[in-house]
Amino acid sequence: MLRKVTLLAAALVLVAGPAFAASEAKKPADIAFSYEGPFGTYDQAQLQRGYKVYREVCAACHSMNLLAFRNLADRGGPFYDSKYKNANDNPYAKAIAADTQINDLDSETGDAIQRPGTPADRFPNPYPNVIAAKAGNGGIAPPDLSVMAKARSGGPEYIAALLAGYTDPPAGVTLSPGLNYNPYFPGGLIGMAPPLAPDQVTFDDGTKSTVKQQATDVAAFLMWAAEPKLEERKQMGAAVLVFLVLFSGLLYASYRRVWRNESH
Ligand code: HEC
């Protein structure tokens, strides 16, 4: 009996061992993002740079279906300006949207047309459908990035490490066409070719455009996209704590008052 169990355990290790090794990915380095900690806020300049990286590089393949252009000008967003409480009036959101062609229908003839975007439009999808997305990328459709920073373990740190972490495959691993090696990707073989190169995006604020910088900034932007209300949530948390402290004091004082004349 014991021998049988040992044999079974050995067989399991043999079967599961390689599978485990294959899915073991390199751990992403920690990044001190400005929004971390109890009072952290997004760095607006970083979000603007990150948006530019998304728009000029990633948007060629990845949709962000949950985002509309006006969201860029919401409170806490890359182009928020307190002068424009209504994000639809924000000149940046308007200009960025107008720079995009949106598929629509002519309201009189029903013909398919293209028109310049408005802040109310969602980010356009680079592919008309998932079949085209697969066909354009060697059979693997690029996933939507709207909530990617929350969907992957490691979040923005993982995304930044992935984008800047491509290496040659280790000895013994041969890449089939369309696959690339990235030690941060579970399994190592990823369908996405290295998307970033030095100076690929010119940052308007003069920040040096290294691959690492682009990767970190776009990761921060994707974090904002996945959790745009993070700042409000933290502020609310702080306000609730202050309230609780005051309320406990008040309760204690009234307790003392109610039992003032009672002997214990
Ligand atoms: C040429 C097309 C292309 C471009 C440009 C591109 N990607 Fe990708 N990306 C892909 C494909 C295809 C996949 C799916 C890879 C797979 O699952 O093997 C992918 C996957 C991903 C993933 C998911 C990885 C995972 O854990 O599943 C992330 C995150 C990502 N891309 C981020 C980006 C960012 C950020 C940019 C811009 C800097 C970018 N990509 C640019 C094609 C692209």
CA–CA dist 50, 149 (Å, integer): 13
Q: Which residues line ligand 1 (CB under 6 A)?
A: 53, 57-58, 60-62, 137, 140, 142-143, 148, 152, 159, 163, 190-192, 195-196, 218
CA dist 245 and 35 (Å) reads 25
Residues 72-99 have pLDDT tens digits of: 999 999 999 999 999 999 999 999 999 9
137 Cα: distance to centroid of ligand 1 (angstroms): 10
Measuring CA to CA, which residue among 103, 50, 41, 40 is closest to residue 72? 50
Pick the closest to residue 68 from 142, 118, 143 (CA basis): 118
Kindly give the distance from the C-alpha atom of residue 61 to the centroid of ligand 1, in angstroms, as a whole number: 8
Ligand 1 atom 40, closest CA: 58
Give the pLDDT score at 91: 96
Burial bucket for residue 63 (CB in 10 Å: 0-12, 13-18, 19+): buried
Looking at residue 1, what is its pLDDT? 52
Which residue CA neighbors atom 6 of ligand 1 most closely? 58
Amino acid 8: pLDDT: 53
Q: What are phi and psi of 141, to 5 degrees?
A: -75, 130
Q: Which two tokens stand for residue 94?
A: 């308007």
**Residue listed under structure tokens 């992935």:** 162
Give the tens place of pLDDT for each residue, 39-77: 899 999 999 999 999 999 999 999 999 999 999 999 999
Which of 62, 125, 203 maximizes ligand 1 atoms within 8 Å of its Cβ, making it the mutation to test the pocket?
Answer: 62
Please identify every stretch of the chain with a pLDDT value under 70, giving residue numbers as ranges: 1-23, 264
Return d(Cα 72, Cα 229) in angstroms, integer. 12
